Chains A and B, each alone.
Chain A
Amino acid sequence: MGGFSERDASESELVAQAAAGDKSAFGRLVERYQRFAINIAYRMTGQPQLAEDLAQEAFLKAWLNLTRFRGESQFRTWLGRIVTNVTIDYLRRRSGESELSDGLPAGGMSPATHALRNELQERVRQAVLALPAQSRAALILREYEGLSYKEIAMVLDVPVGTVMSRLNYARGRLRETLEPEWSPADTMVEA
């Protein structure tokens, strides 16, 4: 098994080869990070097929802009930024429509998947999708993708303090929605 530095070294090589026009090197990066990219888009929109399309768009943008990637951040963080921007742009374009309708199970979900979804999962999904896009993005990157505050700040292009207040807001809202018996105002500091 390769250690962290070995993985990083091979990754920067792959990025350099892809930047020079090597599609197979880019293919290996896609193989490594497609799950990451698709799941960000999925949790931002709630729709599996739409998430695939948005991830495709994000990877295409990454390919077109790879020559500008200078390695000041990790490739994963850089890609996360593109996916998040593509998804938020999409949601903004569709803001005329009800945002909650993005997350309803009818949209692009197979009946089998829908049947398997238990009640709690559905409640969580709808609660997360009801959050404002910026707080939702911070929460998804932290809770589901495990990014640090600093990485989230780079992805969302905001200061670390803003990441913390967005997370605090998102968690406060989620606790109100998911635990109605508990009132967050009792103990939480307002963001």
Chain B
Amino acid sequence: MLQMPCEMAHLIEAYLDGEGDESERQRVEAHLAGCAMCAGMLENLRQLRRRLSAWSALERAPAQERAFWLQLAQKLPLRAAAAPRSLWVPAALALSQILLDAMALLTLALSVGMLLGGFSGVDSWLRQTLSFMPAVSALDAARLTWPGSLGTLALGLTGSAGAEALSVADEVLSWVLPVFVFTALSGAVFLAMTGWAGLQWLRRPSAR
């Protein structure tokens, strides 16, 4: 016939394991003095603990312990402190985001300005502003000289229609290319920064 388990039985294992505060332990001790079932259970658990201790730990010689470290040390990759890196990555990402937004706004403003105010005003402003770029000043110089040579040739070959086409091409060239150069340069900077940040992210220490 099975006996009903004592209501304090669930506390016996915690008592054996040294868990619980002092008042709880005193309560269990007082109970153990009067409950043969719980006292018997505690004795059984103690006996189990003694039996389990028969499985001894691995004993390793000092030479084995040194060999363990030497083997491990060869496998450890070099690693610098990662704390500063974790600050740079979000900073680079934020900066490249700001740059991209500024670039988009500028391109939009230039396009709207040209559509509303005509090419020539924006054209001269652009050429002035972007003249520090070697590509733009070279382009500008070429643009100023070619109507003299190419323009005469086109006029001779095709008449007034050719000259008109050339003048449209000239106007387009005067703003499309600088904007293109500016956009391409900003884009390259943006790609470099996000690429670098992405690389740092990939090289972070892996999770479990």
Contact = CB atoms under 8 A, between A and B. Distances in A.
Contacts, number: 125
Contacts of A171: 13, 45, 48
Chief secondary structure at chain A's binding surface:
helix
A42 B51 contact: no
B10 A189 contact: yes
B87 to A, nearest CB: 13
A155 interface: no
Interface string A152-191: 0000000000001001100100110011001001111100
A56 B205 contact: no
A52 B68 contact: yes
Interface residues of A, number: 55
Contacts of A168: 13
Nearest to A187: B41
B206 A65 contact: yes
Contacts of A182: 44
B80 A121 contact: no
A117 to B, nearest CB: 9
Interface centre among B57, B79, B82 (most CB of A within 10 A): B79
A63 B54 contact: no
A102 to B, nearest CB: 15
Nearest to B64: A52
B76 A26 contact: yes
B57 A82 contact: no
B81 interface: yes
B71 interface: yes
Nearest to B20: A149
Interface string B57-101: 110100001001101110111111111000000000000000000
A67 B82 contact: yes
Q: For the complex of A and B, list the 8 residue pairs with the smallest distance between their C-beta atoms, beginning with the closest.
A: A20-B81, A67-B82, A124-B55, A120-B54, A121-B54, A189-B5, A21-B79, A64-B205
Interface of A: 19-21, 23, 26-27, 30-31, 34-35, 38-39, 42-43, 48, 51-52, 55-56, 59-61, 63-68, 82, 85, 118, 120-121, 124-125, 128, 142-144, 148-149, 164, 167-168, 171, 174-175, 178-179, 182, 185-189
